[in-house]
Structure 1
Amino acid sequence: MVAILSREQLQASAPSVFAASPWERMSGRYRMVPTIDVVDMLGEQGFRPVRALQGRTRIPGKGDFTRHLIRFRHDDHIGPLAVGQELPELVLTNSHDGTAAYQFMAGVFRLVCSNGLTVQSADFGSISIRHSGGADFRERVIDATYQVIDQAPRSMAAIEGWKGISLTRPQQLAMASAAHEIRPNDAIKPAFLLTARRNEDYTDAEGNRDLWTTANVLQENLVQGGLRGRASTGRRVTTRPIKGVAEDIRTNRALWRLTEEMAKLA
C-alpha cells in the first residue's frame, strides 16, 4: 500500500509548501495562496500527497519560498498494487518567490521501480494558474485538477501500446543516445543508461526489451544517478541524482516525448 505523506513528512521534504507569506522581495501585486491550502483543497477531492521535493537556493533567506513539487494519488489508487502496475498521478509545482505559478501536470507511477514520469504529450502539457488570487481561485484549482486527470486514460493507453513494442539492442542504443543528450555527461557512455537495476527490466535472450521498460530504465538511471564512469581527466566519478524541481520536471517530460517519438519510429 502506498504511503500517504503526513503533514510532518510533507514539511520535512518540502518546507516551502507551508510558507504563510511570500518571499520579502515580491511586489505588492503578488497574491499569496499558500501551497498547503491547495493541498487541502485537493484532499477534499480525494487526492493525497505521496511524494514531495523542494528546490535549492544559494540566496540567504529564500529557502522557505523556493520551488517545490508534490505528486498526488487519488483515493481510488491508494490500495494494494500489483507488481509492474502503472497508476496515474497528479503533479503540482509552485513557488512563493516569483519564479513559478501553480502548475498542474499529469504523472504516471510505475510500481516495479517506484519511479514516476511526468507526461508531456503532443496535445497535452500542463495547466498554470497565476498568483492573482480572486474569489474563483478554488474553482480554477479544481477545474485544472480534473482537466489533468481526464488525460489519464490516454496516457495509460499509450503505455500499454509501448509495452507491445519490442526494441532491438541497436534501437535501445539509439534511444539511450538521445536520452544522454537530455543530461549530457562525458564521464559515461549512452549505453550505461541501459543498465537494468532489477530482474524485471532485463533484456530477453536476444537482447530485446520493450519500449516502456526501456524508457523506465533510462529514467531511473538519469534521475537517480549512481552510474560509475571516468572523467576526461581519468578520475573515476559517480553520476549524481537529480534533486532540483525544475530539472526533475524537464528530464521526465523530455523522456516522455522521446518515448513518444521512438514509438513512431519503431
Structure 2
Amino acid sequence: MFLNPYSHKEPFSMSELIKRVPAAFAQNASQDVSHKYNFISTEQVINALNEGGFHPYYAMQGRSRKEGKELVAKHVVKFRKEGTQLIRGDLIPEIVLSTSHDGTSAFRLDFGIHRVICSNGLVAPSSFAVSRSVRHKGYNDGDIIDAAFEVLSNCPDVEKNVTEMNKLILTEREREVFAEASLLLKYNDDDIEETLKENFSPTPSLLLVNRRRGDSGKDLFSTFNVIQENLIKGGQLFFGKDKSGFKVKKTTRPVKSVIEDLKLNKALWTLANKMLEIRS
C-alpha cells in the first residue's frame, strides 16, 4: 500500500516511520556489500537529527523487486528545523536525507522546500544549494547535525531566487518550451517514441493546466509550480488510441519512485534556474 509521504501538522513518530521507511530501521547492510563496509542504521541518524532539533515530516522508500532487498532499498526522510520561518508564507525549508544500505549511497543531505498548498516538495540540486554527503565510514552524530545546519544556511539564497522567479513574467512560448523540456525529464525518448506509436503521449500543454486559481500566474515560479505538481502527482486525463485503433482514456502516472522523485525535482529546479539566468 502506498502511504502519503507527508504529515502536515506534526512530525512522524518512530512507529509511523517504521511503516513508511522500514529500510531506515534495518539492522544490517545488504549481504552483497564488502566486509569493509561500515553499516550505520538510518535510525541512528534520525535520532541524532531529532536531538539537534530537526524533526521528520516526510518519509518514502523505493520498492525492491528482489526478495529480501526491501530493508536495504533507497529511502528519503525530510526534516524541518524547530522555529524555522516560512518563506513567503507558504514555503517550508527542509533538510532532505537520502541513503540506502546496499553499499552504493552515503548519507546525503540536500536543501528542499515544501509548498504547503500542493503538498509537493522540491529539492534544490547541489549546483544551486549546498549538498553534503556524510560517509558511513568514520560516521559520528556531530557530523550529520553540522551538515544539516550548513545545508539549511542556504535558505536566504533560495528565498531570493524564488522572489526573482516571481517577478519574471514568461511569454506563452516560453511557458510551452518549459513544459516541453519538463515532459522529457519524466518520459525519456524511448517512452515517448513508444507512446507516440500508440497515440498515448501526454502533451506538454497538459502540464500547464493549473489545479487551483492561485497558480494561474504567468510568472516563472508559478509556471514551475504547476508543471512540477502535474508531473509529480499525475492523474491528468488525456485521450488516445490503443494498438487496435480504439479510442481510450488514459491518465498520467504519478511519481512513486524515490530515485525518480529526487532526480525529477532537481532537474526541474535546474531548468527553472537556467531560464531565469537566460532572461535576467
TM-score clears 0.5: yes
What is aligned with 1:189?
A: 203
Identify the residue that residue 96 of structure 1 maps to in structure 2. Answer: 101
Any conservation in 1 of the 2:77–2:98 contact (CA below 8 Å)? Answer: yes
Pairing of 1:237-252 with structure 2 (within 5 A): 237-252=250-265
Aligned counterparts of 1:144 and 1:83: Cα–Cα separation in 2: 25
In the alignment, the residues of structure 2 paired with residue 53 and residue 168 of structure 1 have an alpha-carbon distance, to the nearest angstrom, of 37
Write out aligned runs for 1:39-78 (5 A): 39-77=46-84
Match in the other structure for 1:129: 134
Among 181, 202, 209, which residue is 2:216 paired with? 202
In the alignment, the residues of structure 2 paired with residue 52 and residue 173 of structure 1 have an alpha-carbon distance, to the nearest angstrom, of: 33
After TM superposition, the structure 1 = structure 2 runs for residues 6-25 of structure 1, keeping only pairs within 5 Å, are 6-25=13-32
Q: How does 1:175-186 map to 2 (within 5 A)?
A: 175-184=178-187, 185=192, 186=195
Aligned-pair RMSD on alpha carbons? 2.0
Quick one: which amino acid aligns to residue 159 of structure 1?
A: V
- 1:121 and 1:257 in contact (8 A); partners too: no
Please give the TM-score of this superposition, normalised by the length of structure 1: 0.90
Inter-partner Cα distance in structure 1 for 2:34 and 2:152: 33
Contact 2:91 2:113 in 1 (8 A): yes
Higher alpha-carbon deviation: 46-55 or 15-24: 15-24
**How many residues were matched structurally?**
257
Identity across the alignment (%): 35
| Match among 6, 17, 35 for residue 42 of structure 2 | 35
Contact 2:79 2:95 in 1 (8 A): yes
Stretch moving more, 63-72 or 194-203: 194-203
Question: Which structure 2 residue ranges, 5 or more long, are not aligned?
Answer: 1-7, 196-200
State the Cα deviation string for residues 244-265 of structure 1 (Å, max 9, x = none): 1111110000010011011123
Q: Which amino acid aligns with 2:124?
A: V
* Distance (whole Å) between structure 1 residues aligned to residue 133 and residue 62 of structure 2: 19
Q: Structure 2 length as normaliser, TM-score? A: 0.86
